[in-house]
Amino acid sequence: MTEDLIIRKSGRVGHISLNRPKVIHSLNLEMCMAMTDVLLEWKDDDSVDAIIIDHSEGRGFCAGGDIAMLRESGMNDGKEGREFFYKEYQLNHLLFEYPKPVVAFMDGITMGGGVGISQPAKYRVATENTRFAMPETGIGLFPDVGGGWYLSRLEGRLGQFLALTGARLDGAECKEVGIATHYLPSEALQEAKERIAEKPDRIEGILGQLSDTPPEARIVKNLDKIDRLFASDDYEEILADLEAEGSEWADKERDTLGTKSPQTCKVALRQLKEGAAMETFADEMRNEYRIGYHVLVRHDFLEGVRALIVDKDNDPKWNPATPQETSDALIDEIFASLPDGEEWEPLA
């Protein structure tokens, strides 16, 4: 077991709290494996009727994965990073298929890996503190942990917009677009958890009773623009449409995209297009593992993490530097099947 998690039973509920407050509870390999082990144990435990996933303290639920380790691994043979992706995606898939109700409390920053362990939950609780994002295009990664499944199933083109720009949604916006199922004031969370532990057969009613009316969701006024200007699965067409629009909003989003890895933006668009057609979540995770396997050791990921997280100069030198130079052949390489014995598989 790892000290980075607090694992216990509360009443008839299995309770997992992420416990790495200094790094906003970012997931590492040990956490993913320990969560998987205890979820498998609780799956067949008649004294556990539901699962709660939350965080111990601090300003976020989960800011992502162990980016420093992934970069270190990518600069070498990629083996450790690929193992992390493999085990993390098995955890994501286990949660997606889990036979008992899971309640995820997305209080505070919920990004990357935090999305992967909250979106499969039947009940996804946002608060006034929630900040949801998939910001991977900014570091040359891609919206993984099931992003190709969840984002592609949002209404209209919102998923493509979030995947490309890394835009943040607050709790009210998450509730409005279906990323969250409930919106509770943060001061009601403790009561919610205590009541769920006592009566896990009444989760829906408990969350409903404690729910608050969220403030106006600001994203709503931009949905028509998002659907129109992010309509294409061709990245150059999106940029051209934003350029032609010429409005303040379109210029701001075009400038945002100008800071992102062109390679990653093209990967994300294809990932969501393919994800929308996937029949099973396992198919999605297999596809994402292929992408992660290849992207981990490529220039843009190593350079993106250097620029935004290591050196913090916020000036990544992408290669290829432009969308036009980012060929279809390059993207095909990133989506290519893996050698025998290397493909991702869900837990037996």
Among 49, 66, 88, 136, the one annotated catalytic: 136
Q: Which residue has the tokens 């409390």?
A: 105
Among 49, 88, 144, 303, the one annotated catalytic: 144
3-class secondary structure, 252: helix
CA distance 101 to 325: 46
Please, are residues 69 and 20 in contact by the beta-carbon 8 Å criterion?
A: no
Among 65, 74, 108, 275, the one annotated catalytic: 65
Among 81, 113, 116, 140, the one annotated catalytic: 113
Q: Give catalytic status of residue 315 as yes or no.
A: no
CA distance 215 to 88: 34
CA distance 327 to 348: 37
- C-alpha distances in Å from residue 233, one per residue of 267, 288, 331: 10, 18, 14
Q: Where are the alpha helices (DSSP H) in 119-157?
A: 147-150
| DSSP summary character for residue 336 | P
Q: How distant is the alpha carbon of residue 28 from its chain centre?
A: 15
Two structure tokens written together for 104: 């995820």
3-class secondary structure, 77: coil
Full 3-state SS string of 283-334: HHHHHHHHHHHHHCCCHHHHHHHHHHHHCCCCCCCCCCCCCCCCCHHHHHHH
CA distance 109 to 115: 10
50-55 vs 13-18, strand pairing mode: parallel
Q: Give catalytic status of residue 140 as yes or no.
A: no
In which element (H, E) is residue 62 found? strand 60-62
- C-alpha distances in Å from residue 36, one per residue of 5, 99, 181, 232: 12, 14, 24, 38
Q: Give catalytic status of residue 144 as yes or no.
A: yes
Distance between start and end Cα atoms, the chain: 22
Question: What residues act catalytically?
Answer: 65, 113, 136, 144
